[in-house]
Structure 1
Amino acid sequence: MADSLYVPDPTAGDTLVQPWDEAFRAQRDVGLLIPINFHTVPWVSLRAACFGNGQYEDTSFQKCFSNLLAVGLRRFIVDTYWDASRSQWSLCPAQIPTASAAGSSSTVPVPAFTITSSLSSTSAGVTATVSKAGFPKRQDGSSDASSGSTRLSMESSSVPSPTSSSASGGSSRSGSSSSSSSATPAPSTSTSAPVQEGFLYQLGSYNCTSTITLNYLTGIFNDFLEATSTTTDASFTHLLLNIHAAASWQHPNEPAQQSSGDLLPQAAGNLLSNIMKGNLSEELYTPSKLADERANLRNSWNNVDPENKPRGGYYTVEGANGNDPSTEDGWPDEAYAQFSKYYRLIAIFGTIDPQMGGYNRSLDADTIFPSETISVQPDVSFSSSDSLNEGCLFDASDKTVTPQRNSSFAVAVVPPTLSVSSNPDLFSPIPAISNLTACGISPMLNHSLANTTADKNPLPYAAFTHSYLWSWAPGEPLNATDASISGATGNRCAAAYTEGAWPGRWHVVDCNTPLRVACQDPSSPYSWSISSHPKTYDSATNACASPSTFSVPHTPLENAHLLSAARAAPPLDRSNINTSSILINLNSMDVADCWVAEVNGTCPYLAPDDQDQTRIVVVPTVAAIIIFVVTALTFFVKCAANRRDDKRGRRRRMLEGWEYEGVPS
């Protein structure tokens, strides 16, 4: 895409090549019928990953955010600062000086900041020119005057920022004794301080450009969503917005002043909801949409083909046997929200500093979810080996989805001492991240990894991403046997280890290998049993006693319950049968390396047609991924045609022969 703001380094993109892209895609596909609130995906603070050195500059942030997206991160904590002097939501913790602010009184001192036209990569005190890349074409004109960043409903206080927020969240800045920048005065001696586009301002501990705004972030994000609008690359994403008031430019290291009255965002274009909708309106899933769909399941989540029905047991349904079923606690699954309705993002309020307590969030209520959406796990603690001492949501004796064992948007802060090198082994998961994920809790990273930001080195953040892969064992899935060989079934089916180095993780097996079979009660996600007799894959559907069916885990907690059931199963009396693995319902028998959760399933992507395994996407809607049958593909192609008519000419990159790299799964 020409002039795209999404510009990751090749190093970042290379971290999701085979087998990683295939593994993550298969993991995504098996969870497409699970409500989005039960997906365990890590959160990353942009303040830690991109601004840990106090550098708030367009080009470096563009590279950093692009790299984080390219390595597979999908949930971000954004700290956004209301700059009242410019009426903008900024990512910079301090206000950018303006002529009116600095020149309003003859007693105002000469601005205590530096403006220069070049940037030294080794000096934090020198300023830089701003990237001239424009904002996305679909930017809403009503939001041009506002921008900002945000944070999560958890404190990011451990971020090694020059002015980290207090644990109480009362101020976004420390009460430093330095009330102004330590930089030399600006070249001009005038008392006015006009904002200069294209320059970096040194403001105390921060170096900020005037254009490092929330609009700029959503522009990058929009181009990422466009670049990944394919059946194989699409994913559901989250932005959590922490709200702060920017410190004054005269005293950038001191707490911000209370904002009230006319100093608060009031105009329509200044609301956070307008900023989010300016670039992302078509992709944004909102509270109002959720409320409408919950109230009428018959015409929303249930109005799909039988193969696309949401999996049962994850939320309560009122009037399930009548004509008007509804739910008060349910969320849509990813297949419906993302691949049928094309929504790929939710925005959530995080913390709000007292200085911004007067901001009227009710004006954003139809667009941005409340902070209570996130379920913070305050009692999680780690041992010296990074296993969980307490807080794990897995309980082998509790197979119900109760409030006490509910992983709905559950999140916990990871230990601040993660041992990640600058050149990590991507095949060695970070224990704390893997252990949190296996417990149904999304890890939240609020400190820089390997003492670096992602624009300088994305590899530590790629290691963080790979560590939340809960399904396949490192290095899996291995390449399938050549289909041209008559009867070849090697590496075409999947099984879960019950012992060894990776218990619970999946690996490829020959489909003709007899193994015990994983059986699940469709109405109770955590109720698993193991067949008493081994079966090969093509006969596995007959191994499970009703109401259980041959199945594959769809979430980390389901996987943990399957492992528990396998370990508790009575031993076989046949010594020639492998008991260290359990057969799960996942295969690539139709097309090599295209994994489907159906014994006779059909790969929803084109088969390989060249040596470098480049594919052409032929299914315009990603909903077809979870169907795995030809009839459903036809249905969703029709939906895509309607979508093109309804979306005001929206460009969909999956159309007209768009190519993508990697193997579909």
Structure 2
Amino acid sequence: MPAQYDSTATLLDATWVAVLLSERDVAAQIPLNFVTNPAVSVSAACFGNRVYDRTAAAKCFSNLLAVGYRRLIVDLYWSPSRRTWSFCPVSIPADPAAAASAQDSHGHTLYSLGQYKCTDGLDPYTLAEVLVGYFRDTNSQLTVYTAYILLNLHVAASDSKPDEPVHTLSAAEMPSETERVGSIIGTALGDFIYSPAQLASDRRNLNNSWYRVEPSYMPITQYFTVHEDEAGIQSTPDGWPSSKYIQLAKRDHVLIEYGSVDPQLANYNMSTQDNLVFPPGQLSSKVPISMSTNGTLTSGCLYEPGDTQVSQTNSSWAMSDHLPVPEGLSTDETMSSVSKVLSNITACGLSPMLNTTLFGQTADEQVAYYRNISLSSSWAWAIGEPHDAHYPGGDGDPKYDRCAIMDLTLDGRWRSTNCTEQRHGACRVGTSPFSWVLSNSSAYFRNVSDTCPPGTTFAVPRTGLENSYLYKHLLSLPKSQVDPSSSDPVLREVYINFNSLDVTSCWVSTGYGSRCPYASDPQQLERKTVLVSAIAGIIILLIAALTLFVKCNANRRSSRRRKRAIDGWEYEGVPS
């Protein structure tokens, strides 16, 4: 029976839905390689108890996707005797009667293989089936996110010697072309994959790819190199599309990369006929990090004072090499400590990677722990913000806060505030991602853009690293302009160009008076999307049925038609 995506694990809170949606939208035009997303080791999150059960695994995959993990790090094991890939580190025995077994809670046979317990059929198709369900379930403009899969390849131990090292495979034992993981995953997810072939094609002619769509879908060019030939054709050697282009223009959902490959698979051919999987290092660049006792990064942070160019930060596809999870603390103490660490990692321009089984429980057993880690990787809003996510209201209503400020007392995190407060604004210098100045004077939100100095524009940080550059710049200003310790909010809070004045929870970065692209509250849009799709389907069926009826009726009538003329008028009569 195919594995199903189980969407019962949700974010639960309207505020968190608004956080993830607003961060996705504000970064919608940033190239994919500069946007941070939480990563998780599937081996740690789903199989930390060394039980490889297919039903539990499908639930675990579903939970991780549902609570916001965009990068899944997957370990797969090739069994040369069975010629299959599996999540289990040991080959399932060819003769089931020869292995000790038991029944799991779902009635499946669990084989005891050394230190592991594994069910048959837990293979790449299980993950692919869950992913397909997830992509179809999150296919509206409101719910779509880009996912990334990193495949680490290993050789499964023999079921007769599960704890012994594996030998180097001969040519005959290696996977054939159709047995390679890229071919298997590519076949299963082909309709959803943005591939290396597509990237190469898009890069060769930007005029017919990223620049052909409407401006709001185009990636921001300050993040990559652009060349133009004599014919005016633009190309890039290093650029990546934006998530908005991938999700809404291309209608793709996932990028897949090979990670590490065991020495026993040294001759593994990573190429596939359709070029669907990126080679190692194309979608991830692990950055070693170290931290002080208070969670501040002492090495690995990509923020460098004085850097103004993206090329100087080297943050393309940057990912932390681990997520420190302290031992010996209570659950609440640990989550609080990890939350601070995550905040610092994303502020430094790195995607955090969780490679630990939290409190000895996997994500199918206790998804709340994993949800908290995922949500703590948010780089923009302070905890509990934006606090108007579940309220109605509008401009001028003093009870509701619909404009965003950077709060310097919260390490540069954002809060929602009333738009009729007077504050200075954050102004971007030219088009530079990392250069900022403060507006000349304080003003209401609707007028802040008029107070930015010449050559600058009222703007909003679009990534964690951009946010750090703005925050650090503000802290460097004289206390007469900015003072986090002041009792005057004008000195410790700064407007950024982000508001939800049109629709609650729908945050836009295109200035005062901008409309929400979703046209309704995000809490209700999914149901509206489904309804509209259903109505459209019914209309199409009705049109098809009517067309068929009219054609059939016309044919019948033409075969029986008799025309008679009376006083110059023609009419169709019934034949005698």
* TM-score (norm: length of structure 2): 0.85
For each residue in 1:409-440, what CA deviation from the matched residue of structure 2 results, as whole angstroms up to 9, or x when unmatched? Answer: 43321225367755789888622221111101
1:321 CA drift (Å): 9.1
Q: How does 1:370-449 map to 2 (within 5 A)?
A: 370-402=279-311, 404-417=313-326, 430-449=339-358
SS in 2 for 1:59: helix
Per the alignment, do residues 485 and 348 of structure 1 end up closer, same or farther by CA in structure 2, a change over 3 Å counting?
closer
Instruction: State the AA in 1 paired with 2:439.
Output: S
Q: Which residue among 516, 529, 537 is the counterpart of 1:603?
A: 516
* 1:69 is the counterpart of 2:65: yes
Q: How does 1:246-325 map to 2 (within 5 A)?
A: 246-268=156-178, 270-319=179-228, 323-325=232-234
1:27 CA drift (Å): 0.7
1:424 and 1:459 in contact (8 A); partners too? no
Structure 1 gaps, min length 5? 103-109, 121-127, 131-198, 622-636, 642-665
Partner residue, 1:58: 54
* Number of aligned positions between the proteins: 529
* Rg larger in structure: 2
SS in 1 for 2:192: coil
1:378 CA drift (Å): 4.6
* 1:363 is the counterpart of 2:272: yes
Q: Which residue among 404, 411, 419 is the counterpart of 1:494?
A: 404
Partner residue, 1:115: 101
Instruction: State the AA in 2 paired with 1:257.
Output: H
Instruction: State the AA in 2 paired with 1:360.
Output: N
For each residue in 1:636-660, what CA deviation from the matched residue of structure 2 results, as whole angstroms up to 9, or x when unmatched? Answer: x9xxx9xxxxxxxxxxxxxxxxxxx
1:570 CA drift (Å): 3.6
1:284 and 1:343 in contact (8 A); partners too? yes
Between 1:32-41 and 1:410-419, the stretch displaced more is 410-419
Matches of 1:534 and 1:241 in 2, distance apart?
51
Instruction: State the AA in 2 paired with 1:349.
Output: Y
Partner residue, 2:460: 552
Per the alignment, do residues 359 and 94 of structure 1 end up closer, same or farther by CA in structure 2, a change over 3 Å counting?
same
Matches of 1:485 and 1:400 in 2, distance apart?
37
Q: Is the helix fraction higher in 1 or 2?
A: 2
Partner residue, 1:229: 139
1:489 and 1:512 in contact (8 A); partners too? no
Matches of 1:431 and 1:335 in 2, distance apart?
29
Matches of 2:516 and 2:157 in 1, distance apart?
55
Matches of 2:459 and 2:532 in 1, distance apart?
28
1:18 CA drift (Å): 1.6
Instruction: State the AA in 1 paired with 2:5.
Output: Y
Instruction: State the AA in 2 paired with 1:516.
Output: H
Per the alignment, do residues 119 and 355 of structure 1 end up closer, same or farther by CA in structure 2, a change over 3 Å counting?
same
| Greater length-normalized contact order (CA 8 Å, ≥ 6 residues apart) | 1
1:394 and 1:557 in contact (8 A); partners too? yes
Per the alignment, do residues 415 and 620 of structure 1 end up closer, same or farther by CA in structure 2, a change over 3 Å counting?
farther
SS in 1 for 2:40: strand
Partner residue, 2:378: 469
Per the alignment, do residues 492 and 486 of structure 1 end up closer, same or farther by CA in structure 2, a change over 3 Å counting?
closer
1:56 and 1:209 in contact (8 A); partners too? yes
Q: Which residue among 6, 25, 28 is the counterpart of 1:29?
A: 25
SS in 2 for 1:28: helix
SS in 2 for 1:219: helix
Per the alignment, do residues 234 and 619 of structure 1 end up closer, same or farther by CA in structure 2, a change over 3 Å counting?
farther
1:607 CA drift (Å): 2.6
Partner residue, 1:353: 262
Between 1:302-311 and 1:63-72, the stretch displaced more is 302-311
Q: Which residue among 428, 436, 444 is the counterpart of 1:520?
A: 428
Matches of 2:285 and 2:333 in 1, distance apart?
29
Matches of 1:544 and 1:485 in 2, distance apart?
22
For each residue in 1:608-650, what CA deviation from the matched residue of structure 2 results, as whole angstroms up to 9, or x when unmatched? Answer: 599x8975138999xxxxxxxxxxxxxxx9xxx9xxxxxxxxx
* 1:241 is the counterpart of 2:151: yes
Q: How does 1:102-141 map to 2 (within 5 A)?
A: 111=98, 113-116=99-102, 118-119=103-104, 129-130=107-108
1:512 CA drift (Å): 1.4
Matches of 1:482 and 1:323 in 2, distance apart?
49
1:334 CA drift (Å): 0.4
Per the alignment, do residues 27 and 60 of structure 1 end up closer, same or farther by CA in structure 2, a change over 3 Å counting?
same
Matches of 2:60 and 2:530 in 1, distance apart?
32
Matches of 1:245 and 1:223 in 2, distance apart?
29
Per the alignment, do residues 419 and 530 of structure 1 end up closer, same or farther by CA in structure 2, a change over 3 Å counting?
farther
* 1:541 is the counterpart of 2:541: no
Matches of 2:430 and 2:337 in 1, distance apart?
34
1:420 and 1:450 in contact (8 A); partners too? no
Instruction: State the AA in 1 paired with 2:467.
Output: N
Matches of 2:327 and 2:212 in 1, distance apart?
45
* TM-score (norm: length of structure 1): 0.74
1:374 CA drift (Å): 4.4
